[in-house]
Structure 1
Amino acid sequence: MTSRQERPTRLAFDVAAAEAHLARVDPLLARVIAERGPYAPSSVAAPDVFHSLMRAIVYQQLSGKAAGTIHARVLSVLGTTETPGPRAILATDPDTLRSAGLSANKQAGLRALATAAVAGELPDETRLADYSDDELIAAYSAIRGIGRWTVEMLLLFHLGRPDVMPIHDLGVRKGFAHVYGWDSLPKPKQLEAACEIWRPYRSVGSWFMWRALEAVEARPQPG
């Protein structure tokens, strides 16, 4: 089985400064930070972006337990329990991957990712700091099976970028509606506009929306 050990995200900014800025510009968010802080994102350990994206494709639209089982099976049929290279993916026939539980669409996504890696079409992982968030979103989301949300999660949790705003994330939208007293979920564009004041630390604000939602969902239900 593959390990799902969580590791703290390496951050390229000062957490205390980020939280102080957000508390200053947004009193309601300040309360959440005081109750649920400090900002401490973590991600399932992956050695590099390629393997983070590979895992993201396998996990799409599945519960964590089921996805973890399939991910372990995929690693097994690829002949490793750790980090298969892109050529191992390309050399494995579709029936073998199907036997591990991968749908045709997910196989196509993995092969597209592996093909791009072999062809040198992915951003240079030794120079990721030179790329803006938008450049990385454009580069990775051009690959079949990888959407904008997947890359945003990569930026926020794997690369520790400070100003990611996942406006389509249901958890962020639900947390925002609770914290700010909205009767309905904000539309993505409404969320984007409302959270402009969080710049340049929208990753931090978004993370606290998840934490606020967790607190609500953990409360005992009446009756």
Structure 2
Amino acid sequence: MHTVNIQGPYNFDLVLSRLALDPLHVLDKEERWVKVPIRIYNQPIVVKVQADGTTENPVFRLELDEIDPSFHVLIIKEIRRIFRWDVSMLAIHEHFQKTNLNQIFDQHYGTPIVLDFHPYNSLVQCIIHQQLNLKFAFTLTKRFVTTYGSEKNGVWFYPLPETVAKLTVEDLRALQFTTRKAEYIIDLSKEIEKGNLNIDSLYEKSDEEIMTELLRYRGIGQWTIQNVLLFGLGRNNLFPIADIGIQNAIKKLLQLEQKPTKEEMEAMLPEWHPYLSYASLYLWRSIE
């Protein structure tokens, strides 16, 4: 058991409400906990993150598997990365109080950007979700993970790239994947298995370097990469202008007659910089 105190505000209840959208996540909103599947040196480990504090004074208890104590520092570091506990939500909130987004930052006070549990998971999920409604996208992702992933203590782990690389298009077609999506995910996993794409190296690269590298692969476009940068790697200053949800959120918030143009949206960005990712998240939240 490890106790972690962080600076508030940090609204874990709103974190859980967003995580609950994904049926793969194991959590309890009333008891205020979530079980997180992570891998340390490729060993699957389940960490229960239990909130004990409040939004203003957040305190968390981490319940770890019975594993080598030398792993504990790495596990805590990974949980801090996923839940963005080292980001000052107070500084971000105060920044947006001086902008036209202050209303939604008050409504969703202290909501952090919580990351997908691994960038590979994020890439695969983004490819699956392309051009699907959210409900079926989550259903298809769950089928994929529960068919080819692994389960520990009731928690599901995404399959490793080397597992997916051995699948056939017909394997994924049986789950209702399109032929193209099946090809995209299998081909990407093969590139990772061959060592042509090092997922862990993405942590150290700039947004521009990652964009250049990932655009080489079929099925990965700008929208997918922006989502991976945002929710896979936790980059703070991304704003997907082409996202229809964000356009609708701005239209609703500013009471516009029609969705804003690209030029109108670009004119808003300097005021929200350098926290464009949080502007994106809170705009999405405002219409969820």
Equivalent residue number for residue 74 of structure 2: none
Q: CA–CA distance in 1 between the matches of 2:211 and 2:128?
A: 19
Q: CA–CA distance in 2 between the matches of 1:180 and 1:62?
A: 28
CA displacement 1:189-223 (0-9 Å, x = unmatched): 43123222211111111222123334xxxxxxxxx
Correspondence list, 1:1-223, <5 A: 3-5=24-26, 9-10=83-84, 13-24=87-98, 26=99, 28-43=100-115, 45-46=116-117, 48-78=118-148, 80-81=150-151, 82-125=157-200, 127-214=201-288
Give me the TM-score of the superposition, normalised by structure 1.
0.80
Q: CA–CA distance in 2 between the matches of 1:124 and 1:86?
A: 10
Which structure's residues are more often strand, by fraction?
2
Q: 1:3 Cα shift? A: 2.1
Q: CA–CA distance in 2 between the matches of 1:147 and 1:11?
A: 30
Which structure's residues are more often helix, by fraction?
1
Q: 1:115 Cα shift? A: 2.3
CA displacement 1:38-91 (0-9 Å, x = unmatched): 232335x53x21122112222222233323333333335536452322232222
Equivalent residue number for residue 218 of structure 1: none
Q: CA–CA distance in 2 between the matches of 1:148 and 1:58?
A: 15
Question: Contact 2:192 / 2:198 at 8 angstroms: preserved in 1?
Answer: no
Question: Contact 1:86 / 1:114 at 8 angstroms: preserved in 2?
Answer: yes
Helix, strand or coil: the match of 1:184? coil
Q: CA–CA distance in 2 between the matches of 1:158 and 1:124?
A: 11
Q: CA–CA distance in 2 between the matches of 1:102 and 1:37?
A: 38
Q: CA–CA distance in 1 between the matches of 2:206 and 2:231?
A: 16
- Seen in structure 2, the aligned counterparts of structure 1 residues 69 and 207 have a Cα distance that, compared at 3 Å, is closer
Q: CA–CA distance in 1 between the matches of 2:181 and 2:246?
A: 26
Which range moves more in the overlay, 138-147 or 194-203? 138-147
Helix, strand or coil: the match of 2:101? helix
- The residue type equivalent to 2:95 in the other structure is H
Q: 1:148 Cα shift? A: 1.4
Question: Contact 1:177 / 1:183 at 8 angstroms: preserved in 2?
Answer: yes
Identity %: 26
Q: 1:123 Cα shift? A: 4.3
- Seen in structure 2, the aligned counterparts of structure 1 residues 98 and 168 have a Cα distance that, compared at 3 Å, is same
> Can you give the 5+ residue segments of structure 2 that lack an aligned partner in the other structure?
1-22, 27-33, 37-81, 152-156
Q: 1:138 Cα shift? A: 2.4
> Can you give the 5+ residue segments of structure 1 that lack an aligned partner in the other structure?
215-223
Task: Using CA pairs under 8 Å that are at least 6 residues apart, name the structure with larger relative contact order, 1 or 2.
Answer: 1
Q: CA–CA distance in 2 between the matches of 1:185 and 1:17?
A: 30
Which range moves more in the overlay, 170-179 or 151-160? 151-160
Question: Contact 1:58 / 1:71 at 8 angstroms: preserved in 2?
Answer: yes
Give me the TM-score of the superposition, normalised by structure 2.
0.64
- Seen in structure 2, the aligned counterparts of structure 1 residues 149 and 11 have a Cα distance that, compared at 3 Å, is farther
